Amino acid sequence: MRFRHRAAAGFATLLLPFAGLVGLASPAQAATSATATYAKTQDWGSGFEGKWTVKNTGTTAISSWTVEWDFPSGTSVTSSWDADVTSSGTHWTAKNKSWNGSLAPGASVSFGFNGSGTGSPANCKLNGGSCDGGTTEPGDSAPSAPGTPTASGISDTSVKLSWSAATDDKGVKNYDVLRDGTKVATVTTTSYTDTGLTKGTDYSYSVQARDTADQTGPVSGAVRVRTTGGTTEPPTGDKVKLGYFTEWGVYGRNYHVKNLVTSGTASKITHINYAFGNVKNGQCTVDDTYAAYDKAYTADQSVSGTADTWDQPLRGNFNQLRQLKAKYPHIKVLYSFGGWTYSGGFGQAAANAAAFAKSCKAVVEDPRWADVFDGIDIDWEYPNACGLSCDTSGPAAFKNLMSALRTEFGPNYLVTAAITADGSSGGKLDAADYGGAAQHLDWYNVMTYDYFGAFDKDGPTAPHSPLTSYPGIPQAGFNSADAIAKLKAKGVPAKKLLLGIGFYGRGWTGVTQSAPGGSATGAAPGTYEAGIEDYKVLKNSCPVTGTIAGTAYAHCGSNWWSYDTPSTIAGKMSWAKNQGLGGAFFWEFSGDTANGELATAIDSGLK
Q: Which residues contact 162 (CB under 8 A, 6 or more apart)?
A: 149, 150, 152, 190, 191
CA distance 346 to 397: 9
E strands in 96-134: 108-116, 122-126, 129-130
CA distance 403 to 408: 9
Query: Which of these is catalytic: 381, 408, 533, 588?
Result: 381
C-alpha atoms less than 13 angstroms from C-alpha of 600 in its C-beta half-sphere: 24
Q: How many CB atoms lie within 10 A of CB 157?
A: 15
Overall size of the chain counted in residues: 607
Question: Is 529 among the residues known to form the active site?
Answer: no
In angstroms, what is the C-alpha Rg of the chain?
A: 27
SS (H, E, C) 185-224: EEECCCEEEECCCCCCCEEEEEEEEEECCCCECCCCCCEE
**Which of 230-260 are b and which e, b meaning 16 or more Cβ less than 10 Å from the residue's Cβ?**
eebebebeebbbbbbbbbebbeebebbbbbb
Preceding amide of 146 cis, omega within 30:
no
DSSP string, 68-87: EEE--TT-EEEEEESSEEEE
CA distance 592 to 536: 5
Angle between the 353-364 and 397-409 helix axes, to the nearest 10 degrees?
A: 40
At 110, the amino acid letter reads S
**Which of 25-49 are b and which e, b meaning 16 or more Cβ less than 10 Å from the residue's Cβ?**
bebebbbebbbbbbebebbbbbbbb
Alpha helices by DSSP H, listed for 226-274, are 258-262
E strands in 347-496: 375-379, 414-419, 443-446
Q: How far, in Å, are 11, 76, 177 from residue 89 at the CA level?
A: 22, 10, 34
DSSP three-state, residue 373: coil
DSSP string, 536-555: HHHHHHS---EEETTEEEEE
* Strand 271-280 relative to strand 332-338, pairing: parallel
| Residues with a known catalytic role | 381
